[in-house]
Structure 1
Amino acid sequence: MVSSLRITEIFYSLQGESSTVGIPTVFIRLTGCPLRCGYCDTAYAFTGGEKKDISDIIAEVESYGTRYVTITGGEPLAQTSCLELMTKLLDLDYVVSLETSGALDVSSVDPRAIKVMDLKTPSSGEVSKNLYQNIQYLTKNDQVKFVIGNDEDYAWSKQILSEYQLTDCCEALFSPVMGQQNPTELANKILHDRLPVRFQIQLHKLLWDDARGK
């Protein structure tokens, strides 16, 4: 049986976040998500999409001529064939990163993939969905992301960072909610508190605003 996935879009752009920011990357946006975060900027991926065979997805990726691929959503792990897609891409020597909410089990993700896992902050409205046992599957190649919208989010993120000693197992990213959290204020807080985290702004939004497929 040929495996397939429901895809919202496949596009070529610069990586806007994480440790590979600025690198030309193919993005595979899967359709569907069990969460409804208040700051979500990809609600168009909740429904619809087009079913594509994994072989056709890989052929489209190959056409762009880059080694970097990001699997995103929605929530990509909501479709189980996502695991197969990642492994096949890794077997072809692609550098594969997975953007996941942290609400679904990551234990079966190919260990060669780079997991970029959100821990949902209070302002997301989905903090209760965090699956903290996922932390045990994070490695030095992975990142955990905190999307920060206000002071409560920042205080909560600091607490989780310390409670789970996250920077001992992976890299931690603090990212402001665009239009809600002043990025300079967040940067100053990180410096004041001497947090061992990577501050990031979504590069793609600075370059292309909210243009879809960028």
Structure 2
Amino acid sequence: MHVIEIFESIQGETTHAGRPCVFVRFAGCNLRCRYCDTSYAFQGGTRMERAQILATLGRFKSRFVTLTGGEPLLQKELPALCSDLLAAGWEVSVETHGQLDAAAIPPGVHRIFDLKTPGSGAEDHSFVNLRSVRPEDELKVVVTSEADFGWAVEVVRRFELEGRLPIV
């Protein structure tokens, strides 16, 4: 797995905002959103085995981890890492742009889908995960204009997401 950084901080987004959290930021992303604040994670990273990641996480006080990027679903071993973390007693969230199928992420993991609006500049607006959301999932939407807001409301209605998961 290609890791850019592992650090402890306060979760600043989603329904977990304000919680101490360890972040594992993976390298690689197949999108180039206009407002991306982690473009340094597009390439590179340090190759780490799952056991190395678990050992590094064990040094931190928090037992809540967010796997992010870049795009973490580009890491083929991500589902196995999630299972390892759950088995070790971690609370796990995965922040993904949602354009890639997240079905392999095990139950019990908080999947946070960052829905890309037209204002993001993302050309593909795949909804591959919206039909199979789970109660522990969340939908995150960065709205950059009134048009984005209207688009997001329409997507929520089309997939009947209101009340099925938190939308932040």
- TM exceeds 0.5? yes
- Say yes or no: does 1:41 pair with 2:40: no
TM-score (norm 2): 0.96
- Say yes or no: does 1:58 pair with 2:74: no
- Conserved 8 A contact 2:97-2:114: yes
Displacement of 1:158: 1.2
Letter in 2 for 1:84: A
**Corresponding pairs, count:** 168
Letter in 1 for 2:149: Y
Partner residue in 2 for 1:155 = 150
- Conserved 8 A contact 2:99-2:128: no
Displacement of 1:87: 0.9
Of 108, 133, 158, the residue aligned with 2:128 is 133
Extract structure 1 runs of 4+ deviating beyond 6 A. Answer: none
Distance 2:51 2:138 in 1: 28
Partner residue in 2 for 1:115 = 111
| 1:146-182 residue CA offsets vs partner (Å, 9 max, x unmatched) | 1011111111111111111112321111xxxxxxxxx
Report 1:1-214 matches (<5 A).
Answer: 5-126=1-122, 128-173=123-168
Displacement of 1:131: 2.5
Distance 1:55 1:138 in 2: 29
Displacement of 1:10: 0.3
Displacement of 1:58: 0.6
The DSSP-based 3-state class of the residue aligned with 1:139 is: coil
Structure whose alpha-carbon radius of gyration is higher = 1
- Conserved 8 A contact 1:37-1:124: yes
Displacement of 1:136: 2.3
Percent of aligned positions that are identical: 38
Q: Hey, which of these two has a bigger chunk of helix by percent?
A: 1
Aligned-residue Cα RMSD (Å) equals 1.0
| 1:4-30 residue CA offsets vs partner (Å, 9 max, x unmatched) | x10000000000111111111000000
- Conserved 8 A contact 1:105-1:131: no
